[in-house]
Chains A and B, each alone.
Chain A
């Protein structure tokens, strides 16, 4: 590829670039055409289509599923912010050195082991049903609140580990240089270590962000009327599963742009630093 770049501009070069694109398009059309034809001509296809891909049923279920999906998005944003902050506190707590901070380090280690060891679904059931059932005075009995807390607790364990790997990836020389310039341990963390750590693990964080967006659907098991719950309600009423496909499409429409955005931001950041200037 590098050899091609150095060639002068001209028709020949454009042709060179066009050929691979054409081959790609052609192969996609052929492969997916064959798959489509095979599926479409199968004996069972009409039944599958009416059960899962019935356009009328999808349209019919859509308003309810959409309402539920907005609930998903709201809970997702809340979870995202709470998880990002809690995980950061955990990860930073683990970096404190010295014997005085042993309890903090121990707590974080146990916390992460515990919450990564328990299925998120189990935590959602435990918190979403269990805590309201206690009827504690002054404590919310709303299942949504406690289900959300369960997801935040579970995800923060994973995110804290990602943060930590980012912090570990920053070379010791950075901390040393900051210290030698007179920055305190805290200032070194804020101004030199964390910015680099977060940048290094940005793709991994975005991956978890996408996973979180879908795991909010776990709250449907404690009765939160999210997209999945709404789709199930429709299915229970009509015995048609197209509503679940409608929910699936909404989830996909939300995550795919997020992935592209991640690619775009990473590339931009790289370019900015290689080009110099702000």
Chain B
């Protein structure tokens, strides 16, 4: 069965239609990348998947159940679908470990000792074990973003949404974050990724979707999208990306 099914998704901000009849299926363990120019609706689409943003028409289902179905309760959906933001959005007044354990303890009623043990284990797995008692502002951008990913994983989600997670990072810090995402892929995590890192999208994705003006213009395996795009608009977009030097070997 499909993990996520989006059909006819339409969303406007005032008069401007940002998503225009989007249909998309994501299968379990699949990694799907959304590419496109700024304002093409990629991030909005991502936020519709876990109901952070509401929409006028269409539907989103998780394992065949509508995301607004009452069976998810108030927090169930957020437990199943995690999202990581461009600006990390860590809680600056809490230590790294408290950031990671807040949701499991408060929202998902995990016992503190259990949540902390699991949080510490996750931090160690991603090379952050020594920072458990540190406050986020002491960490580098790459470390903060890794903590944000761990914070997400702490609720044991089935799907991870990544919203331009490397866009705020200095170039030399991007690698450590992409490394985690690669690792998650090998573990079979289902992911929907919005990114400007084209070579990363090419390497990690099972499928790439090119969005323009709220519509999916083209979708296919990365080889097709980056190697031989069928659509003129896709080609023009990639030409601009190559000209800016963001699609290297």
Contact = CB atoms under 8 A, between A and B. Distances in A.
Query: Do most interface residues of chain B lie in helix, strand or loop, or is the interface mixed?
Result: loop
B138 A274 contact: yes
B123 interface: no
B78 A276 contact: no
A195 B92 CA distance: 10
A250 B108 CA distance: 53
Contact of B52 (A179, A183, A187, A191): A179
A276 B155 contact: no
A179 B152 CA distance: 12
Identify which of B52, B89, B135 gathers the most chain A CB atoms within 10 Å of its CB.
B89
A184 to B, nearest CB: 6
Given A191-B102, A276-B134, A181 B107 contact: yes
Interface in A234-278: 273-278
Query: Do most interface residues of chain A lie in helix, strand or loop, or is the interface mixed?
Result: helix
Contact of A181 (B102, B133, B135, B138): B102
Contact of A274 (B78, B131, B137, B152): B137
A173 B107 contact: no
A267 to B, nearest CB: 16
Interface residues of B, number: 31
B137 A273 contact: yes
B106 A278 contact: no
B151 A181 contact: yes
Nearest to B75: A182
A181 B155 contact: yes
A182 B107 contact: yes
A196 B108 CA distance: 23
B10 interface: no
A199 B92 CA distance: 11
A181 B95 contact: no
Contacts of A196: 91-93
Contacts of B83: 180
A171 B136 CA distance: 15
Interface string A170-207: 01011011111111100100011001100100000000
A182 B79 contact: yes
B89 A176 contact: yes
Given A173-B89, A177-B85, A274-B138, A184 B52 contact: no
Nearest to A199: B93
B89 A184 contact: no
B136 to A, nearest CB: 9
A277 to B, nearest CB: 5
B138 A276 contact: yes
A174 to B, nearest CB: 6
Interface string A71-112: 000000000000000000000000000000000000000000
Interface in B96-119: 102-103, 106-108
A189 to B, nearest CB: 12
Contacts of A277: 133-134
B85 A173 contact: yes
A185 to B, nearest CB: 10
B103 A181 contact: yes
A178 B52 CA distance: 11
Contacts of B102: 181, 183, 191-192
Nearest to A192: B91
Given A182-B103, A183-B102, A177 B91 contact: yes
A277 B139 CA distance: 12
Given A176-B52, A192-B102, A273-B138, 4 more contacts: A183-B107, A184-B107, A192-B91, A274-B138
Interface of A: 171, 173-174, 176-184, 187, 191-192, 195-196, 199, 273-278
